[in-house]
Amino acid sequence: MKIIMLGAPGAGKGTQAKQIAAKYEIPHISTGDIFRANIKNGTELGKKAKEYMDQGMLVPDELTCDLVMDRIAQDDCERGFVLDGFPRTIPQAEALTNALTKIGQSMDYAIDVDVPDENIVNRMSGRRACLNCGATYHIVFNPTKAEGVCDACGNETVLRDDDKPETVQKRLSVYHDQTQPLIDYYKEQNILKSVDGTKPMDEVFSDIVAILGE
């Protein structure tokens, strides 16, 4: 079962991807994890990726796709995998499709966790993070026991720059420009399935399971 997760930043696709991976016992693959693992292990692909990242540049699509293909060629992906954060653009999607076609494979599902922009801005601006231990909270959905104080370590919790409404709006506009077209791309391939991401997380997961099957 080969699955791509789609959805705007803050839509909750990462959380759903982890739950899918756990339920169906397939790896959860995020490009960030792949980059880190290859750089840490000093692989040839990792060294190439690091050159770009050290200069603050995006890793080129072809190299990113090579890293993903290298990861899904590993034994633990034999029964499938969940891709989270890749592809982000049409060129990346086309590179992935072509690379899979060469080995006689194709994706089974592209699941879009659909959440309106307004909900995402509200959701993300309610996030709070502890800069000391990394714990994250939400002032409505997962508040700290004492306001502004981390439950885990007692340090102050803050609204990160990434989660400020103006930053979220910018990230959403990039998403709509670059990633939204993927929805049409996978619709044309007849593998797109949408779920309502405004529902509670466990209901969203139930909807996904209804698509994928028990």
Catalytic residues: 13, 88, 127, 160, 171
Q: Are 34 and 71 in contact (CB under 8 A)?
A: yes
Diameter of the chain measured on Cα atoms? 55
Sequence-ordered list of residues with C-beta below 8 angstroms from that of 38, at least 6 positions apart, any chain: 45, 46, 49, 67, 70
Rg (CA), the chain: 18
Sequence-ordered list of residues with C-beta below 8 angstroms from that of 32, at least 6 positions apart, any chain: 85
Written as one letter, the residue type at 127 is R
Cα separations in angstroms, 174 against 63, 64, 152, 186: 21, 19, 34, 19
